[in-house]
């Protein structure tokens, strides 16, 4: 693509925390749309390691996971020639803008964030200030790049709304500085549920591995996890199955993986036993994840290739981020270095 073409495209940005195992929920809710939308946008895809440390991480695991997640972005089909892919901590402007935005975010707003309440409950011994002000860092991630569209799952809607409020507040206090981003939340698959506890969302950091499908699960594990997924006591698929948390979730996953509407899946499987449908779902997962994993293994075997992409991505990101940050510093009244 020429630079002129790039200039006319809007910007799409998203990120994933390198915690736990990249899961099917993340793919269906977010990454899948990154891949589908990338042609029409200048894409920026971040491995948000600074967000991940709001919960304790083992350093060696965090390091490996950052590379592994970036490789999975590529294996999913993000084109590194056309998009910027980088690790958040390689671009210091995220921390710098986050500090400024913290001063434009009210505690009343942060108190309302359900992800904070949820994580504070799960990590009672470590309710740190970073976990609390996390949304200001996320706003910085997005606003640094004058982002137009942010494809995420439903659980990030509240953070996106706060990002928009912060951007509007800053723009109003000074003059237009940040583009106000729009969320992109898919109609289907925005909230994939846990396999064993279908009343809660599938989480990549769940302590019970049977609750999620990792994108790197080998075929026998995929088959076993689907077989064991909790469903109700009915045994046959009916149109009402879609409303049922357990089987409804599996039907949604099948629909998304096969590019079908919910009604098309029902007409394909109406009257089938749950076990038969689960077999078809496991086949779909294996068919999708086997080539994904082959691409992943190849990328991970060429570490130089991967780190080259991440280095280049970080340097492109820093170039854009610096421009926005210096604009912000000027507007709020910071003296430019060398002008004292
Ligand atoms: P994270 O790391 O928890 O999740 C990454 C992405 O996956 C989506 N997602 C789901 N979608 C459907 N069903 C599920 N069960 C499911 N679980 C997770 C999330 O909505 C998200 O899109 N704060 C963000 C990371 C972030 C970010 C950003 C995102 C930091 N800066 C800037 C966009 C733009 C987070 O914790 O996502």
**Concatenated DSSP letters for 226-255?**
HHH----S--B--GGGGGSHHHHHHHHHHH
Q: What are phi and psi of 12, to 5 degrees?
A: -120, 135
CATH entry 1.10.240.10 includes domain 209-297: yes
Q: Residue 338: its pLDDT value, please?
A: 83
Task: For the domain made up of 3-185+302-332, give the CATH fold.
Answer: Rossmann fold (3.40.50)
The preferred substitution site among 26, 51, 190 for testing ligand 1, maximizing ligand atoms within 8 Å of CB, is: 26
In this model, does residue 4 exceed pLDDT 80?
no
* Residue ranges covered by each domain of the chain: 3-185+302-332, 209-297
Q: Return the pLDDT at 177.
A: 98
CA angle 229, 282, 289 (to 5 degrees): 115
pLDDT in tens, 277-295: 999 999 999 999 999 999 9
Residue with tokens 């390689």: 90
CA distance 191 to 168: 28
Which of 42, 54, 52, 44 lies closest to 22 in space, CA to CA? 52
Distances (CA, A) of 9 to 2, 12, 37: 11, 9, 12
pTM: 0.96
Whether ligand 1 lies within 6 angstroms of the CB of 65 is answered as no
Residue 238's pLDDT band (cuts 50, 70, 90): very high
Is the four-CA dihedral 290, 186, 7, 135 of positive or negative sign?
A: negative
Nearest CA to ligand 1 atom 4: 16
- pLDDT tens for residues 157-189? 999 999 999 999 999 999 999 999 999 999 999
Q: How confident is the model at residue 337 (pLDDT cuts 50, 70, 90)?
A: confident
């Amino acid at each position: 693509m020429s630079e002129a073409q790039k200039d006319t495209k809007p910007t799409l940005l998203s990120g994933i925390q390198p915690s736990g195992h990249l899961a099917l929920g993340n793919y269906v809710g977010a990454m899948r749309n990154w891949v589908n939308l990338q042609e029409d946008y200048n894409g920026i895809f971040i491995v948000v390691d600074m967000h991940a440390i709001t919960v304790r991480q083992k350093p060696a695991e965090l390091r490996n996971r950052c590379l592994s997640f970036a490789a999975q972005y590529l294996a999913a089909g993000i084109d590194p020639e056309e998009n910027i892919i980088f690790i958040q901590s390689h671009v210091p402007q995220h921390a710098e803008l986050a500090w400024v935005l913290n001063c434009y975010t009210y505690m009343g707003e942060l108190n309302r964030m359900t992800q904070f309440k949820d994580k504070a409950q799960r990590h009672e011994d470590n309710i740190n200030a970073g976990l609390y002000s996390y949304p200001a860092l996320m706003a910085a991630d997005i606003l640094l790049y004058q982002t137009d569209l942010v494809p995420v799952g439903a659980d990030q809607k509240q953070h996106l709304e706060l990002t928009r409020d912060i951007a509007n507040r800053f723009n109003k206090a000074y003059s237009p500085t940040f583009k106000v981003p729009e969320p992109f939340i898919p109609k289907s698959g925005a909230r994939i549920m846990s396999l064993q506890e279908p009343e809660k969302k599938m989480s990549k950091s769940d302590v019970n591995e049977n609750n999620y499908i990792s994108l790197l699960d080998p075929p026998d594990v995929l088959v076993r996890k689907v077989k064991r997924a909790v469903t109700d006591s009915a045994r046959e698929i009916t149109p009402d199955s879609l409303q049922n948390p357990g089987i409804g979730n599996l039907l949604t996953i099948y629909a998304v993986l096969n590019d079908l509407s919910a009604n098309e899946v029902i007409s394909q499987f109406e009257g089938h036993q749950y076990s038969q449908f689960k077999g078809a779902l496991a086949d779909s997962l294996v068919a999708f994840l086997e080539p994904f994993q082959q691409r992943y293994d190849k990328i991970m075997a060429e570490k130089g290739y991967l780190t080259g992409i991440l280095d280049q991505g970080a340097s492109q990101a820093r170039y854009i981020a610096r421009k926005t940050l210096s604009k912000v510093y000027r507007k709020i009244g910071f003296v430019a270095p060398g002008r004292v």
